[in-house]
Every structure is written in structure tokens, then in C-alpha cells.
Structure 1
Amino acid sequence: MLSSPAACPCGRTDARGRVLDFSRCCGRYLEHFDTAPAPDAESLMRSRYSAFVLEDAAYLRATWHAAQRPGVLDFEPGARWLGLAIRQSRETGPDTAEVEFVARYRIAGRAVRMHERSRFVREGGRWYYVDGDLL
């Protein structure tokens, strides 16, 4: 895992438009998964983006629904993550939600834009990523 940054990679801002510190944002979920679950699907999406940036496979696997969880997680060597934009976050039922996002990164000098509508489910008070559709 890479070292934790000062500013949160997910880009969430405070009321003044300043990016939150990692420890006040996604860090609390990544570093304290057992005691501090993400409170909603958008926060889980943001923390999973941060986990990709930090190459935290353990957190990603722990927050992936067991029915869809991959056996092995590989990271793109040399990927440089550039930012996350949440387009929409909505509850689709009492324990289900969708988050539409755009994640940008650069690999070998080539810009990549990943646009996805992700599905989440809450079980036992915790949100899990289920799957998503690329848009």
C-alpha cells in the first residue's frame, strides 16, 4: 500500500470548498474498517476510489459484496490517478443505492476516463459495492 496523502484523493470538499484531509475523509474508513464503516453508498464509493489510489487491496476486497468479490485484485502498474467526480448518488431502496461517477487516470502517458454507474447494498449496517455498468 502507498503512503497516506494529506489531502483526500476522493476530492471531497468542506463548506469552504477546501479538499478534506485524508484522515477526516476516507482515511477513517480505510484505516478503521472494523469500527468505522462508510455511512452511505457515496462515502463507500469515495473511499474505494481512495483505496484504488493507495493500492489498498484489503479494503477493496472487504468492501466488495461477497457474491461478486474477485479472488485476486491487480492494480495497473504506473497508473496515476487524477480525480473523481460524483455525477449522481441515489438510494434505490431501503438497503440499495447507485452512484454514478467518473474517475480519471493516466497510464503510460495516455488519459483514461472511467464512467460507471455502480450498485451498492447495505447488509448488517455496512455498505458493499456489488457491481457496475460502464457508461
Structure 2
Amino acid sequence: MDPSRCPCLSGLPYAECCGPLHAGRVAAGTAEQLMRSRYSAFAVGDADYLGRTWHPSTRPADLTPDPDLRWYRLDVVMTRAGGPTDDHGVVEFRAFYRHPDGPGSLHEVSRFVRERGAWLYVDGAVDGR
């Protein structure tokens, strides 16, 4: 993968897509944008961003990404609500990875809330393969 290309596969360079969100220069405007930026944070190993965007009521104590996982593809399956005027949203996605034990995918239906103008990941129903 081209290192300048954003891992979320938006087609934009990282510096114009998820990079500014990771750096805290802008905030996600929709639940889907937050989900894509969180996927990219897993792909680039940005645990700080994952912590900042995970709702405190469900955030785990350890957010260290697995260094052996290489995330390489994201497919957004469905988005329900989660727009600029919503306070709740749902995004279903499938993320693909490579691991020394073999390739796999993560299928999740994620829930998001917007509090004080900021989208946060709450939790998700996971079907890992």
C-alpha cells in the first residue's frame, strides 16, 4: 500500500483524510468518519487516538494495538443515522488483516454517540473470522 494513501481507503492521502483527525486538528463530522479514522488508527498504531475517541463508559484500560496485525482493507457495509445532526449512529463494517497465524477479518456493527459535539465509539457486536 502507498504509505501516503489513507488506510481507510477513502482514496485521499493520509495527510488530507484521517491524519488531521489523529493529530487533533479536526474532529469527525459523522459516525462513519469516526469509524474510518479509528480503523486507520489501528492500522497506524495510534493508541492515543483510540483512547480519545472511545466512550469512557466502555473504554478498556489497555488500548495497545497488536503489533503483529497488519490491517489492509476496510469495507463499510451499512450506516444508520450518525450524520452531522444526529446524536447516535450505527456503522457496520468488515476489516481485513494479515497476521503470522494467517489472514482474517473482523465484522462489526458499531454504535456511536455524539457528546458535546464530539463523536465517540461506544461498543460493537463483533463477528471475527
Residue aligning to 1:26:
18
Tell me how large the CA RMSD over aligned residues is: 1.5
Residue 80 of structure 1: CA displacement? 1.3
Aligned residue identity for 1:7: R
Residue 59 of structure 1: CA displacement? 0.3
Matches of 1:27 and 1:81, distance apart in 2: 16
- With normalisation by structure 1, the TM-score equals 0.86
Matches of 2:67 and 2:58, distance apart in 1: 24
Residue 76 of structure 1: CA displacement? 1.7
Residue 9 of structure 1 pairs with residue 13 of structure 2 = no
Aligned residue identity for 2:32: E
The within-5 A match list for 1:56-67 is: 56-67=46-57
Residue 94 of structure 1: CA displacement? 3.2
Aligned residue identity for 1:124: R
- With normalisation by structure 2, the TM-score equals 0.90
Count of residues paired in the alignment: 123
Partner-residue secondary structure (3-state), 1:100: strand
Residue 24 of structure 1: CA displacement? 1.1
Write out the 4+ residue segments of structure 1 that deviate beyond 2 Å after TM superposition.
none
Q: Percent identity, please.
A: 46
